[in-house]
Amino acid sequence: MPTYKAPLRDMRFLINEVFDFESHYKTLPNGEDATPDMVEAILGELARLCENTIAPLYQSGDEEGCKLEDGVVTTPKGYKEAYQEYVAGGWQGLSHPAEFGGQGLPMSLNLFKQEMLGTANWSFAMYPGLSLGAMNTIQLHGDEEQKQTYLTRLTEGTWAGTMCLTEPQCGTDLGQVKTKAEPQDNGSYKITGTKIFISSGDHDLTENIVHIVLARLPDAPKGTKGISLFIVPKYLPGKIGEDNGVACGSLEKKMGIKASATCVMNFDQATGFLIGPANQGLECMFTFMNSARIGTACQGIAHAELAYQGSLPYAKERRSMRALSGKKDPDAVADALIHHGDVRRMLLKQKAIAEGGRAMIYFAAQYADNMISGILEDDKDKYDRWDSELGFLTPILKGFLTEKGLEAANDAMQVFGGHGYIKEHGMEQIVRDARIATLYEGTTGIQALDLLGRKVLLSSRGKCVRDFSKKLLDFGRKHLTDGELRPYAWKLLKIAAEWNYLTTRIMLVAAKDREMVGTASHDFLMYSGYAMMAYFWALQAKVARDKLAHGGNEPKEFYQAKLATAEFFFERMLPAAKGHADGALKPTKSTMQLAPEHFSFDYE
């Protein structure tokens, strides 16, 4: 089993040398306290918590899983104590307002925290992670009384939160939600219905759980325009321990993240309170969706990082045959796996995904900070502008990075050969845990449709691609005559042109054939992911090259490794983008022509 070690060098490289968070924090209304010393102290403390307390529970939590007995859900051994340590450290309120007991620091610090917690133990990270969704919703849409009642306890972490959207008949298409909300004379509502797949729906980590539930009022219009949002606590405030008609009916038996309690939740005339305007529940729910989805995008890099931390030492220890260019360890019985080209390919791919993905997320984290500034400064235009910038990045990060994280986990397993498939080394657990990331918080298919259909074509008619690809163009033009960076500059120029060409072509075809958006969307998403990752690898290469020339905070081998990984990404991974470009432009016919009844002639 890999022993998690926080990748602090890489995090510091991005935070200090690539993205200059120190200057960025100076521009934020809540950035004053985020000094380099403070950031360093936070990273160090988090690393200690994650390495010593949370990571050691990763494998045992998977083996033991959660249990439901007599209506009570318990988490695996050690989770409660670890959660208490997390709460005692004040970690839940890191980026939440001081008036509710939080530390009010920029959102990006919370994303660094999510990455570390999640890499150490994704199942554990789900409990505080889901709570953040509930906290954000109440903070933005709750009235003053709701904020006072719930936010202090949620910010402390002594209460937890959930997001209850999915029902048996619908996960993506929430317009089909059936859960009912009946108004009561005292202004509250009786909530009745069943929600499935609810992460952290019930557990023993906190004294109360605050569910944010999508439900329908009696006179609500059909579809998405008739859904409202409710706060439904497990126990009503002041009545801890008294049944409020909220119960976990069963725990889902699932492939991975077994220490995360995924619950069927039954609401039986449970008392709830409307949050936000009636019938605008979905809009309220989606307000913070971008940052929630970036949290899930972290899962891609989390699993790539952990898988790499497992497969790298194994590739150095395990011996098999001799290197093609001659013996590397002549005194040993055979050479280590790391000397074989195909094993190096798999290792470098994991490294490129983890570090390239981390750069993408940290960049987006600055956008998230700017978006929050809009709220803190009561500047709606600013909020909307940054939310929209973030809105373009989100489906790419969530869709591309979770797919690539799964690929990295599979590569790590492959490095172990047959030993990757058995439990002992922990690789199969990482693969199982990584799989869910492409499904929840909007499947990859839905991210792809959101990107191409909504963000690129409908909302901006390609402007968001033009705007982002300008960064690639600028880099390309600036470094085209630079001997070392020239190959990257040249490729970025080509990609920027191709990305815009793809967008325009798809837009033209889709104007006549609407199926084009659906058939092209996955390839377009993956192409966009490669394009974005290429930019961030070029940026890292430039900074590494400059630091090698003029001196940086890290040893020279660190910067040389960055350059080598950038070269690997550009030469061995980026060519896959071409296949996606070709696929995206193919006419819809080959995908759409087969009639549903002709997909098989032997079975239904």
The answer to whether residue 289 forms part of the interface with ligand FAD (CB under 6 A) is no
164 versus 493: smaller Cβ distance to ligand FAD? 164
The secondary structure element, H or E, covering residue 377 is none
The answer to whether residue 232 forms part of the interface with ligand FAD (CB under 6 A) is no
Q: What CA–CA distance (Å, rounded) separates 100 from 154?
A: 9
> Which residue's CB comes closest to ligand FAD?
171
For residues 195 to 214, the per-residue mask of contacts with ligand FAD, x marking binding by CB under 6 A and - elsewhere, is --xxx---------------
Residue from the set 16, 443, 500, 588 that interacts with ligand FAD by CB under 6 A: 443
In 200-278, where do the E strands start and end?
208-215, 228-233, 246-251, 262-275
The answer to whether residue 134 forms part of the interface with ligand FAD (CB under 6 A) is no
The answer to whether residue 163 forms part of the interface with ligand FAD (CB under 6 A) is yes
Residue from the set 164, 209, 343, 506 that interacts with ligand FAD by CB under 6 A: 164
DSSP code per residue over 107-176:
HHHHHHHHHHHHHH-HHHHHHHHHHHHHHHHHHHH--HHHIIIIIHHHHHTSEEEEEE--BTTBSS-GGG
Closest contact distance (angstroms) between CB of 418 and ligand FAD is 28
Closest contact distance (angstroms) between CB of 130 and ligand FAD is 6
Bridge partners of residue 170, in order along the sequence: 167
Q: Crossing angle, helix 107-120 and helix 122-141, to 10 degrees?
A: 150
147 versus 211: smaller Cβ distance to ligand FAD? 211
Looking only at residues 111 through 130 of this chain, which bind ligand FAD when binding is defined by CB under 6 A? 130
Place of tokens 């390495």: 51
Residue span binding ligand FAD (CB under 6 A) among the ranges 139-147, 165-173, 404-412, 483-491: 165-173
Q: What CA–CA distance (Å, rounded) separates 197 from 436?
A: 12
Closest contact distance (angstroms) between CB of 94 and ligand FAD is 21
Q: What CA–CA distance (Å, rounded) separates 303 from 291?
A: 19
16 versus 194: smaller Cβ distance to ligand FAD? 194
Closest contact distance (angstroms) between CB of 414 and ligand FAD is 25
198 versus 510: smaller Cβ distance to ligand FAD? 198
Contact 79, 61 (CB under 8 A): yes
DSSP code per residue over 396-463:
HHHHHHHHHHHHHHHHHHHHTGGGGTSGGGSHHHHHHHHHGGGTSSS-HHHHHHIIIIIIIIIITTTH
Q: How far is CA 167 from the centre of its chain?
A: 22
Closest contact distance (angstroms) between CB of 211 and ligand FAD is 10
Question: What burial letters (b/e) apply to 198-224, b meaning 16+ CB within 10 Å?
Answer: bbbbbbebbebbbbbbbbbbeebeeeb
251 versus 495: smaller Cβ distance to ligand FAD? 251
The secondary structure element, H or E, covering residue 45 is helix 36-49
For residues 536 to 565, the per-residue mask of contacts with ligand FAD, x marking binding by CB under 6 A and - elsewhere, is ------------------------------
Residue span binding ligand FAD (CB under 6 A) among the ranges 51-59, 193-201, 425-433, 572-580: 193-201
Residue span binding ligand FAD (CB under 6 A) among the ranges 64-72, 107-115, 157-165, 479-487: 157-165
Closest contact distance (angstroms) between CB of 175 and ligand FAD is 11
Helices marked H in 288-379: 289-317, 341-376
Among the listed residues 426, 402, 423, the one whose alpha carbon sits nearest the alpha carbon of residue 412: 426
440 versus 490: smaller Cβ distance to ligand FAD? 440
Name the active-site residue from 441, 484, 515, 557: 441
Question: 557: helix, coil or strand?
Answer: helix
The answer to whether residue 262 forms part of the interface with ligand FAD (CB under 6 A) is yes
Residues 6+ apart with CB under 8 A from 514: none
136 versus 262: smaller Cβ distance to ligand FAD? 262
> For the purposes of burial, counting CB atoms within 10 Å of the CB of 447, is it exposed (0-12), middle (13-18) or buried (19 or more)?
buried
The answer to whether residue 249 forms part of the interface with ligand FAD (CB under 6 A) is no
For residues 269 to 288, the per-residue mask of contacts with ligand FAD, x marking binding by CB under 6 A and - elsewhere, is --------------------
> Other C-beta atoms within 10 Å of 3: how many?
12
The answer to whether residue 171 forms part of the interface with ligand FAD (CB under 6 A) is yes
Question: Long-range contacts made by residues 53-57, C-beta under 8 angstroms, separation at least 24?
Answer: 53/82, 53/85, 54/82, 54/86, 54/117, 54/120, 54/121, 54/124, 54/125, 55/3, 55/4, 55/120, 55/121, 57/82, 57/121, 57/124, 57/259
Closest contact distance (angstroms) between CB of 185 and ligand FAD is 30
46 versus 214: smaller Cβ distance to ligand FAD? 214
Residue from the set 245, 249, 445, 552 that interacts with ligand FAD by CB under 6 A: 445
Q: What CA–CA distance (Å, rounded) separates 577 from 592?
A: 23
Residue from the set 312, 334, 439, 480 that interacts with ligand FAD by CB under 6 A: 439
The answer to whether residue 166 forms part of the interface with ligand FAD (CB under 6 A) is yes
Place of tokens 């989770």: 79
Residue span binding ligand FAD (CB under 6 A) among the ranges 159-167, 450-458, 570-578, 586-594: 159-167
Q: How many residues bind ligand FAD (CB under 6 A)?
A: 20
Residue span binding ligand FAD (CB under 6 A) among the ranges 162-170, 360-368, 403-411, 494-502: 162-170
The answer to whether residue 194 forms part of the interface with ligand FAD (CB under 6 A) is no
Q: Crossing angle, helix 289-317 and helix 107-120, to 10 degrees?
A: 40
Looking only at residues 13 through 72 of this chain, which bind ligand FAD when binding is defined by CB under 6 A? none
Active-site annotation holds for 441: yes
The answer to whether residue 436 forms part of the interface with ligand FAD (CB under 6 A) is yes
Among the listed residues 489, 291, 540, the one whose alpha carbon sits nearest the alpha carbon of residue 397: 291
139 versus 166: smaller Cβ distance to ligand FAD? 166
The answer to whether residue 440 forms part of the interface with ligand FAD (CB under 6 A) is yes
Q: What CA–CA distance (Å, rounded) separates 563 from 559?
A: 6
Q: What CA–CA distance (Å, rounded) separates 284 from 537?
A: 36
Closest contact distance (angstroms) between CB of 170 and ligand FAD is 6
Give me the residues that bind ligand FAD (CB under 6 A), please. 130, 163-166, 170-172, 197-199, 254, 262, 436, 439-440, 443, 445-446, 449
The catalytic site residues sit at 441
